[in-house]
A = this chain, B = another copy of it.
Amino acid sequence: MASTPPRDYAQDNFGVDYVIRYHFNGSDISHATRQLVRLLRTLGELGFQTEVRHGDKSSLLVFVRAPEESLHRAVHTSRVRDWLYGLRNTEPGPAGSQEPKTDAERLRAIYYMITSPREYGGAGITPKHGDWKHVESIFALHDQRTNGKWIMKWSKKTLLDRDELDQIRAKFGEKVGFYFAFLQSYVRFLIFPAVFGVFCWTLLGDFSIIYTVVNCLGCIVFVEYWKRREVDLGIRWQVKGVSVLQTRRRQFKPEREVKDEITGEVRAVFPWSKRLLRQLLQIPFALLAASALGAIIATGFAIEIFLCELYNGPFKTYLAFVPTILLSTLIPTISTVLNSVATRLNDFENHETQECYDAALIQKKLVLNFMTSYIPIVLTAFVYVPFAPVIVPYLDVFGVTMHPFVSKQDQKTIAHADFHIDPSRLRNQVIYFGVTAQIVNLLTETVVPFVLLKVSRKYKEYSENRGKRDEKGKANAEKREFVSIYADPPEEAEFLDRVREEAELPEYDVSSDLREMCIQFGYLSLFSTVWPLMPVSFLINNWVELRSDFFKICKEYKRPTPQRTDTIGPWLDTLGLLAWLGSISTSALVYMFCDPDEKPAEIKAWALLLTIFFAEHIYLAVRYVVEATMSKIETPSMRQARAQQFLMRQKYLESSVGARGWSDDSELESQAGDTPPEQEADAEPQDGISSSERFWSHQRSWKDSVNVGADIIMQSQGTTRPESKKQR
């Protein structure tokens, strides 16, 4: 039966499709019980098989298996819908047919059956929402065996190939699939700047114009290439244009109901104008955030610079850490605050569909992330370096406290300051963000959580055991009985333990990983000219990332419910924007630093601006050309899609009207003669026709016309055809 999951998977997971973690806390048992009854009845009525086991102290695990027949129908319905929306080119077979289904499609369909509202035939179970607040989560089980196999396999090879991406998609759905596909092409792209970077770094040093130009070009090509790749994958995975199917947001608060006069469907609407006004709030918010973060970072800098360039007093070595500590404590706190504000703003915008909501939120968070990631470097490059001579002396205001140490140095300071201004400071910063930050990130993201997880599990076990041991006295008997009644059957024990562990795991959100890549791309396009080895470090980092992320999904998160998408989302535009800004920032950097022994003080503002102006517009022109070129390339999938459409249409045309359309009945010719009367009948029943018909009656068939025509030609040459007279 093609539709059942692969054997080993079924074996390991006892054919469980989904597990519902049902939470109950001491307070209102009765209500919890009532709701549990409702839950199980709803599922039962829809034909789901259910098995209940105990989870941890305050939760149940409801194992769900979908009835094959209705699952088939569900899948088929969704496929038909896809086909109607033009997401897939191959018409789905008859209902209930045993077409091969991917794991992901199966799980998606079941999840839809469980969660979709009753009027669409679903069970309408909404975790943590509405009257299902006891339902804590609905999650599928990891396919341990396959995951393990893949982790092993990939650790051996350099790059994933097409099939492996397809496998990922088949297991975890398109959303995750797209992330890995993107990461994959990004890594492949990075090879080029990495190699070239090494080359430039060794031969040309930093701030080489050649590297900058090539890097910019590379970024353009990559972004455009990915756009194409997305389309290609979208067609290959049959999700092209899936974004039209949007899931309504439960939290959406409509202003009023509107009955569509044409279709008669009642739609709850919220005026777009009103939403737009609310969205305008982003602008002040962004400005506020920028200034807040900017202020903090600037202060940190100021202190740092002050300490290492002005201050010569005691504890200098220790004080040097002050700014670092300051920043690393303040920035996270403020950005969490800002993030929560952003979320609140987003809720306030009251988006209608989940997709819009996510996109909007992502963008807001992205802006914040950019600020925290790029402001420091920008400050150094475009404020500190050019204006240090002006600014540094003022930093002395901090100095007043420790005047004894500083005052006599003030004179030096000035000279000192603009002597000190060289790219080294900038470079160090860039290297920090390019290498150190990446590694730290990788650790905090993958390794640390894993360790913590292990530890916490150990601890939990330990505490539970102790808990058991502690419980003496009257409850004891029951407890033992309880254990004895509902102890896991030996053959299930191992499985259930695993399920309980998975139930504890957090839910995976691919967007955070994508954001990380996006920011990294930003460093590449904006600042890599400062230190051409950057792409190398990124390349290595991402090669590891590709594996560690997969490991992360398999081990540290619940199995993500498959979601469909045909793009990596708002990041695509962001990448484009970053590449664009890159053209500005890199050109500026190159101009300012390309010749090291030139004093920044001597930078000509107009020349700098002119450089930027040209760089940017050349960039835009090139991008236009690349776009045009790329759009001409037809990927295999596209060709296939075109072909399938062609076939579909051909079939239709052949079935309905013959391809040769209007010309394939032969009595027309003879008919031509007798058309006039028929026309006469209905067309114009008065003097009009008579003349019109007389006009058409001169030459009854095309042969007459030929004769007349021939005659005219002849005669115009002054020769007559003898029969021309009797013709008439």
Q: What is the interface of chain A, defined by CB distance below 8 A to chain B? A: 1, 4, 7, 10-11, 14-16, 22, 24, 26, 29, 32-33, 36-37, 40-41, 43-52, 54, 57-58, 60, 62-63, 65, 67-74, 76-77, 80-81, 84-86, 95, 113, 119-122, 260, 262-263, 265, 272, 276, 475, 478, 482, 485-486, 489, 491-492, 495, 604-606, 609-610, 612-613, 629, 632-633, 639-640, 643-644, 646-650, 652-653, 656-657, 659-664, 668-669, 671-672, 675-676, 679, 682-684, 688, 691-692, 694-696, 698-699, 701-703, 705-706, 708-718, 720, 724-725, 728
CB neighbours of A683 from chain B (8 A): 1, 4, 10, 15
- Shortest Cβ distance from A664 into B: residue: B121
Secondary structure at chain A's binding surface: helix, strand, loop or mixed?
helix
Top 5 nearest A-B pairs (CB, nearest first) are: A44-B702, A47-B668, A70-B662, A609-B609, A606-B606
Q: How far is the CA of A51 from the CA of B44 in the complex (A)?
A: 78
Partner of A656, one of B14, B95, B675, B725: B95
Q: Please state if B653 and A81 are interface contacts (CB–CB under 8 Å).
A: yes
Copies in the complex: 2
| 7 residue pairs from A and B, CB less than 8 Å apart | A45-B668, A50-B699, A60-B713, A67-B675, A72-B662, A80-B657, A606-B609
Having A15-B683, A48-B672, A69-B668, one finds 14 other A-B pairs with CB under 8 Å, namely: A11-B688, A36-B713, A48-B702, A52-B708, A69-B662, A80-B657, A121-B659, A262-B640, A263-B643, A263-B646, A276-B629, A605-B606, A606-B609, A609-B609
CB neighbours of A710 from chain B (8 A): 33, 36-37
Interface centre among A486, A661, A669 (most CB of B within 10 A): A661
Q: How far is the CA of A49 from the CA of B725 in the complex (A)?
A: 23
Q: Please state if B709 and A73 are interface contacts (CB–CB under 8 Å).
A: no
Q: Please state if B14 and A695 are interface contacts (CB–CB under 8 Å).
A: yes
**What is the distance, in angstroms, from A661's C-beta to the closest C-beta of chain B?**
4
Q: How far is the CA of A57 from the CA of B716 in the complex (A)?
A: 7
Q: Please state if B657 and A73 are interface contacts (CB–CB under 8 Å).
A: yes
**What is the distance, in angstroms, from A444's C-beta to the closest C-beta of chain B?**
35
**What is the distance, in angstroms, from A84's C-beta to the closest C-beta of chain B?**
5
Partner of A486, one of B65, B676, B682, B711: B711
**What is the distance, in angstroms, from A32's C-beta to the closest C-beta of chain B?**
6
CB-CB under 8 A for A712 and B606, given A49-B672, A51-B699: no
